Amino acid sequence: MPQITDSHCHLDFPDFDGELGDVVARALDAGVTRMVTICTKLDREPKVRAIAEAHDPVFYAAGIHPMSAHEQPLTTVDTLVGLNAHPKFVGIGETGLDYHYTAESAEIQKVSLRTHITAARETGLPLIIHSRDADEDMAAILADEYRNGGAYNCVMHCFSSGPELARAALDLGFYLSMSGIAAFPRSKEVREIFASAPVDRILVETDSPYLAPPPHRGKRNEPAYTALTAKVGAETFGMDYPAFAAQTQENFDRLFSKVAAYGAAA
């Protein structure tokens, strides 16, 4: 069975309470051999870390979600960099800009985003970006930080923005992550954006418990369903599933090099 990685899920959410062992087991049965669970509020970092420690296939990242930036104390670069001491801490974020629900906190979101970018640059870990209805500002900040602050690595998680932001991210050497949105029947434009991207810059994810792909749409998503999105990804790129799965694994290992090194050491 081809192996793939769920590069973005939220296993600390209450949707999975009491079921994590079974959820991880179903993922493994589906060929999803690694999962990165994402902490969106730093006061929850101990719980997210504990999940990664308790389950061998699970790694974690942490940051302040843009929709929470106005509710949480602004973090510091030192705080984020300090988390890198843990062997299973493998990414910075998610962070970013969300003007769909929280446009009124745009300026705080921008400050938070730049803090996370600096931490990603200092640690060498990938930055995990959430962007919604903020394409122009997002492209401008990512480019400004890269060209004037210094290089860093980044994935545009759950990418469903426009082609301009996709091109801006790809031009900086960043990655696009395909979620269940890309598998929705009406997401033709999203699939076209992915199809125009280099296949060596594509990851797959669930963003579970949200955005379950067909035939589970409207129900709770979980890491096992990464395989369903990846099969749509294979069709999008005109590849057979084993080849596409292998390519996304290679891409993930390149970007999340700490995960690859952890696996090699084990």
Identify the CA nearest to 5 among candidates 59, 83, 63, 84.
59
Query: Which phi and psi angles does 36 have, rounded to 5°?
Result: -110, 110
Per-residue confidence (pLDDT) for residue 72, from 0 to 100: 84
Which domains are present in the chain?
A: 4-261 (3.20.20.140)
The C-alpha atoms of residue 244 and residue 4 are separated, in whole angstroms, by: 9
SS3 132: strand
Per-residue confidence (pLDDT) for residue 107, from 0 to 100: 97
Tens of pLDDT, residues 217-242: 999 999 999 999 999 999 999 999 99
Report yes or no: 174 and 153 within 8 Å, Cβ to Cβ. Answer: yes
Tens of pLDDT, residues 75-114: 999 999 999 999 999 999 999 999 999 999 999 999 999 9
What is the H or E stretch that residue 167 is in?
helix 163-171
Q: What is the reported pTM?
A: 0.97
Residues ≥6 apart with Cβ < 8 Å to 64: 40, 41, 42, 72, 74, 75, 95, 112, 116
**Beta-ladder partners of 132:** 98
Is the pLDDT score of 266 beyond 80? no
Q: How far is CA 99 from the centre of its chain?
A: 19
Tens of pLDDT, residues 2-40: 999 999 999 999 999 999 999 999 999 999 999 999 999
State percent of the chain over pLDDT 70.
100
Q: How confident is the model at residue 167 (pLDDT cuts 50, 70, 90)?
A: very high
